[in-house]
Structure formats: C-alpha cells, structure tokens
Amino acid sequence: MIVCLKHGLLTIMLVGISACATLPNGPDEPFTEKPGDIKFGNTTADIMYQILLGEISTQRGKPDVASKFYVSAAKNSNDPRVASRAVRIATFADNKEDALIAAKIWANNEPENQEAKRVLAVLYLRNGNFEQAQTNLANLLSSDSEGIARNLLLTGALLQREASKEGAEQISNYLISLYPKHVEAHYVHASLAMQNQQPDKALISIKKALKLKPDWIEAVMLYPRILQENGKAEESLSYLSNFLRKSPKEDAVRLSYARALVDARKLDQARSQFELLAVKMPNNKDVLFALAMLSMQSKDFQEAEGYLNQLNKQGKANPQVIFYLGQIAEQKKDFDNAINLYSRLRTGEYYIEAQLRVAVILAEHKDIKSALEHLHSIDTKTDEEKREVVLFEGNLLRDFKQYDEAFAFYSDILDSTPKDTEILYFRALVAERLNRIDVVIRDLSYVIEQNPQDAAALNALGYTLADKTGKLEEALKLIQRARDLEPDDAAIIDSLGWINFRLGNIEIAIKYMEEAMEKIDDGEVAAHFGEILWSSGNKEKAISIWKTAREKFGDNEILIKTMERFGQ
C-alpha cells in the first residue's frame, strides 16, 4: 500500500494546535482582512498616518500597497503589535522580504512571545534560510524546557507544512542531534522522511522512537505504515496483530489494523476487526461505512443496507451512502427504489455515475429509447463529464445489440474528430459485429499506428485477422505483442488460445484457455474453450462448460451460436 501523507501525520495529530495563528498560508489564501484591532501607546502622527493608509488599503483589497505602509510603520515604531499585523498583510501580498523584516521587529521587541519566534522561523523557511530557521527553532525549543515534547511535535508539523525536502531533512537531523533521547525527535524525523519519500530513513528513525518508548501510540501507528511503504506488508500486519494482543483496548490501532487488512485483501479478517470496533463505537461513521462495503463485497446486501441506513440516520443524508443504497436496491432487483435513490443525487461526485446507472436500469427493464432520453437529460458540467456520458451512450448501444445505431453514433462523432483513437477503437468493435471487416482493420490499424503500445487494439486486430481473414501468422504476432504488454489480461490469453486452436496447436490452445478460464468468468471464453475441447475429443467436458456458462450468460451470442453449431 502507498501511504498518502499529503496533509502530514503531524499536522493531523496536532489538529487544533496552531503553530502560528497570525500568519496566513500565503497569497493563494483569499484576502478578506478585517480592520486591525491595535491599541497604541505613545506614537507619532507620521506613524499613525502610515497605519491609517495601511488600513484603508487593506479594506480596499490591496495587500501589496497596505504591506508597504505597515512595514514602514513597524520599522519606525518598533511596536510589536504593528509588526505582527505587518507580517500578516505582507504575507498576503506575497512579499516574503517585507514579512521577514516585520517578523524580526516583532520577535526582537517581544522576546518572550513564542508565537513571534515561531512565525519568524516559518518565514526563514519560506525564504529558504535554513540555518537561521534551524537556530531560531532550536532557541524556541530550549526556551521551554517543560514543553520540549509538545514543541518538538509542533516544530515537526511546521516543517511538514513549510519546509522544502532539503530544509526538512537538515533541520530534523539537527533536532535529533539536540534531543537524541526524546522519542518525539525521532518520530518527527520519521514522519518527514515519509513525506519526502525516503521510507528507508523513516524506518530507521521510527525503530529508534519505539526503542525509546515502545507503547507510544503515535509511533505504534506510524511504524506499520512505514513497514508497508518499505514493501513489508506482512510484517506490518504481524506487528499490529501482536500489539493488539497485548493492548486490546487501543481502538485507534485496531482501526489501522482493520484498514491494513482491507489493503491486503484479507477481507474476512478485516470485517472481524471492524465488527469488534462497532461494538465499542456503534456510531462511528468510518467503521459503519467499512462494514457496509465489506458486506457488499461478500454479497451480504441485507447487512450492508442495515449499516448504510444506520449511517443515513446520523444527520444530513450522505451522497455516497445514497449511491450505495441504490446499488444494493439494484442487486435486490428493486429497480424502482434504485432509480428513486439515484435520482436524489442531483449534483456532486456521485451524480454522473448515478445517472448512468439509471440509464442501464431503463435499458434493461424498460426500453433503450427511455435510457437514451435519460442520458440526454444529464446535466454535464465539464468536457470530461460530457465525454464520459457520450462514451457511455455508444457502449450502451453496443451492449444492447443496437449495432447499426452504435456504428452511426460513433461515425457522427468521427465526422468532427476523425483522429479520435478511443472512438475509432469502439467503432471497430461495433464494425466487427456488423461484419464490416474493412472498417475494423482500417480503424484498428490507425489506432495502433498512433499508439503501438495499445494492447487492447493489438488484441482486437489480431483476433479479427485470425477469425475473419485467415491471416493467422500475422494475427499471432499482434496478439503476442499484446500479451507482452499485458501478460495477465484474460481476453488476450483467450485470443492466444483461439488462434493456436486455429493453427492446429490443440494442446497449447487448451493450456491458454484453462489459464483464461481461471482469470475470468465469461460466456465467450467458455464458448471458445468448449469448442476446442470438443474438437480434441473431450465432448463431455465441453458440454459441461457450455451448460454452466449458459446458466450465467444465456444471452451471449457467441456462446449460443457455438452451442447450436454443435447441436447443444
């Protein structure tokens, strides 16, 4: 599993602790400053005038102008309150130099203010001045001997957010040299190494942290993630399992273990762990959703529906939950309810997919015309969404055997975009069904010419040449190229079996077909395998495979025609 540390483990762990509340993230943050609330002591008229102009510019949404006035006022007054506001406004203006000048004034004139010191360190980091940042952070840590552990973690969160890879590594190494016996220093180093994609270094540091404090939960949680990133997934699972035997009440660790089991595809074990968590945390949304997904995976739709309905009762209806309830309704063949649930999703991440599912239900249980009308009513917001719906329409026509309509549909698109290789590929699939072999060869040859690594196109062209033109040797070369690119693709393995059968290599053909059958349960593959077995004299096994496939794929044209040819 790839561990995603985009937001940073330290940042997540320290939610609610502000490393520098005064400082905005930078120029990308919306500039919506409220008037400054600064109470002044004795100050000159010139300084007050500069502050006034700064405030007017701020309220007019001109941080670049406001910054100049405020930094000037800070220089002239040496007032830490003015300097603090100057830092904030200069940061909004993306004027790193002025922000650093103001931060120095603030820290120098308010030496006991921890926030001022931390802001100054951030600005040193943003300016790439790692030596100064390092010195500043070290002084900050040493000034609070009672709070070193907390401040090390705060410093780690700051580095995770503000420092470059080089700066984070340099400063975290320095922190270890200063505090070698503090578990937090090694933890910070491990977290930053993971963020910087250095899992080997992270592993060394987290082991040192656990040696200092074996039961510290933060390190216990990070260690298995680092093991996974180092390719030691089984060791990670073993570690979590052993830890929970000793500390069964650590729910956060159990949740990590359950998720790691899901990643390892050990779904039954994962479900057992989530069920244990559900007893202790009956309203935990993450646990309930995980149990719902695992129940769906094992086709326990009644159980899954119960978990999802329990989630739905917890406040505002969740679009993700509604979508999966729609899927369950489909599985239960409650199609009216499925359409009703999908139709509740009118915007957002699940909108398009839900509407496509409605189209499939209409096509299967009403008529293709209703399905197409529904597709045309979908409100697409982007070019990507529009293309997704267009491609779905063509595939829907093809899947429901509307081959003439599908061919015309793709051809209309190609009139305006004749070099669209994806549409050409799909038209070729339809053309093969219409026995328009010239179009198949022309379209697929162009697709391969544009992308010689397109395994699907290589396989489709090779199969067509073998099945429709008798150019077996040429076909075999194409399909072998496809296999080299996608060695585990069941469709390509099926083609290799079929073409070897056509070449008279029966034993080789059977070997490929057995491999394909292990990888995919498909009517066409079963049709091919049965025909090869029949031709080799094993008629009883051929009939058995055909009958089993027909129970699952009764509408597969190739399967039906193959069985009819052999009197079955």
Q: Read off the CATH number of the domain in which 49 is found.
A: 1.25.40
pLDDT value, residue 31: 44
CB atoms within 10 A of CB 349: 11
Looking at the structure, tell me whether residues 211 and 186 fall in a common domain: yes
Residues of the chain with pLDDT under 50: 1-21, 27, 30-33, 35
Looking at the structure, tell me whether residues 163 and 79 fall in a common domain: yes
Looking at the structure, tell me whether residues 11 and 45 fall in a common domain: yes
Contact 142, 136 (CB under 8 A): no
Which of 280, 298, 315 is the last residue before a domain boundary?
Answer: 315
Q: Is the residue at 362 inside a domain?
A: no
Q: Is the residue at 112 inside a domain?
A: yes
Query: How many Cα atoms are found within 13 Å in the side-chain-facing hemisphere of 433?
Result: 18
What are the structure tokens assigned to 366, written together?
Answer: 């009403």
Which of 169, 202, 229 is the last residue before a domain boundary?
Answer: 229
Looking at the structure, tell me whether residues 128 and 66 fall in a common domain: yes
Q: Which domain holds residue 27?
A: 1-34+41-229
Looking at the structure, tell me whether residues 219 and 272 fall in a common domain: no
Q: Is the residue at 527 inside a domain?
A: no
Domains held by the chain: number: 2
Looking at the structure, tell me whether residues 214 and 285 fall in a common domain: no
pLDDT value, residue 202: 93
Q: Is the residue at 244 inside a domain?
A: yes
Measured at the alpha carbon of residue 24, what is the angle toward residues 59 and 165, in degrees to the nearest 5?
150
Looking at the structure, tell me whether residues 65 and 196 fall in a common domain: yes
By three-state DSSP, how is residue 90 classified? Answer: helix
Q: Is the residue at 94 inside a domain?
A: yes
Which residue, 535, 563, 531, is CA-closest to 547? Answer: 563
By three-state DSSP, how is residue 537 classified? Answer: coil
Which residue, 558, 557, 556, 526, is CA-closest to 543? Answer: 526
Which residue, 31, 38, 29, is CA-closest to 62? Answer: 31
pLDDT value, residue 273: 94
Q: Is the residue at 293 inside a domain?
A: yes
- Got the DSSP string for 449-471? HH-TT-HHHHHHHHHHIIIII--
Q: Is the residue at 432 inside a domain?
A: no
CA distances from 403 to 379, 410, 427, 444 (A): 26, 11, 10, 18
Looking at the structure, tell me whether residues 141 and 154 fall in a common domain: yes
* CA gap 542, 534 in Å, rounded: 6
User: 333: left (phi > 0), else alpha (psi -120 to 50), else beta?
Assistant: left
pLDDT tens, residue by residue, 115-162 = 888 888 888 888 888 888 888 888 878 877 788 888 888 888 888 887
Which of 315, 333, 359 is the last residue before a domain boundary?
Answer: 315
Q: Is the residue at 61 inside a domain?
A: yes
Looking at the structure, tell me whether residues 240 and 222 fall in a common domain: no
pLDDT value, residue 14: 31
Looking at the structure, tell me whether residues 264 and 172 fall in a common domain: no
pLDDT value, residue 16: 29
Looking at the structure, tell me whether residues 239 and 191 fall in a common domain: no
